[in-house]
Amino acid sequence: NEGNEYFKEKDYGRALAAYSEGLRRRCGDAELDAVLLTNRAAAQFHLGNYRSALNDAIQAKKLKPTHLKAIIRGALCHMELKNFVEAIAWCEEGLQIDSKEKKLVEMRAKADKLKGKELEGTFLGTQTDFSSRRKCQGRAVVGSDLLCERNIKLVLEPSDEEEEVSDGLAEISLDGFHSGSATGAKVHLDADGSLSWPVLFLYPEHEQTDFTVAFHESSRFIDHLMVMFAELPPWDLEKKYLPNNLELYFEDEEREEMYEVNPEHTLLQVLQHERYFVKAGTPTVLVFAKRSPFSKKYFSGKKVHRL
């Protein structure tokens, strides 16, 4: 009920926390857990965390296969992730339950139309390439004093239209990168004085990305990975991307060195690293499967600081 109240107020971050707390109580009622998971998926969806939302929808559907709201939410997530074949499958599953469900009928038609189109690639290869395309727009939304208190180092890159950017954290645009929801994402200050950041995850081996709009600074990376990879992503055909089989890194572009990130660390701990520089307000991490041939080749010739 608390989650629903926050959801009505469009306070999706607190709604997500409330639904998560409800799930942690392990009530043993499969139908109630399915509702909590579906509601949390909706909150994640509105925050732009589509993969996490999809995994919640998958878990809700497992508990209650006829839960139409979970099926609709899962289909919507697949649409945002550009998994059109999967979106069609979810729509068809829902239409078997209710053949007149308007959202599913419309989504099914849209997914079928987009399925055959050649989509423009969005992965730019390296953190350096991506950073060079970012543009800072607008004025500061979080004061530089908050960053100084946390010992966070920020690098601002002025846009073509604006040569000077005020002190602090600029509003950011991801210049069309990945999905439209990411455009304009920015760090924000919670009511309790904590910061939540947009965070970009890059998967170089598969040329894929994830974008988390609201990553609380006190949240651990492993907690996000457990939700993001509760179900294997469709591009992981070798089934290597399991939460405990992943290595995280960030790149020190100035020195051309890589630093391994401890998944047990919070976002704030990583941002406070002496060689971590936040560019354009968006922390970025690279994700690899442990001991994969690709990662060995990727790190070949580079200085890597491991845990």
- DSSP letter at 119 equals P
- For 269-295, what is each residue's pLDDT tens digit? 999 999 999 987 889 999 999 999 999
pLDDT band with cut points at 50, 70 and 90 for residue 245? very high
292, two tokens: 């994969």
Domain map (residue ranges) of the chain: 1-120, 154-162+170-306
Q: What is the pLDDT of residue 185?
A: 63
* Residue 150 CA from chain centroid, whole number: 23
**Full-model pTM:** 0.55
CATH entry 1.25.40.10 includes domain 1-120: yes
Non-local CB neighbours of 160 within 8 Å, separated by 6+ positions: 135
Q: How far is the C-alpha of 270 from the C-alpha of 177, rounded, in Å?
A: 24
For residues 293 and 199, what is the distance between their CA atoms, to the nearest angstrom? 26
pLDDT of residue 133 exceeding 60: no
Residue 183 to residues 175, 239, 244, 283, Cα–Cα distance (Å): 7, 31, 31, 15
**Whether the predicted pLDDT of 170 surpasses 60:** no
Q: Does domain 154-162+170-306 have CATH number 3.10.20.90?
A: yes
Joined together, the tokens standing for residue 281 give 């307000």
Q: Is the pLDDT reported for residue 36 higher than 50?
A: yes
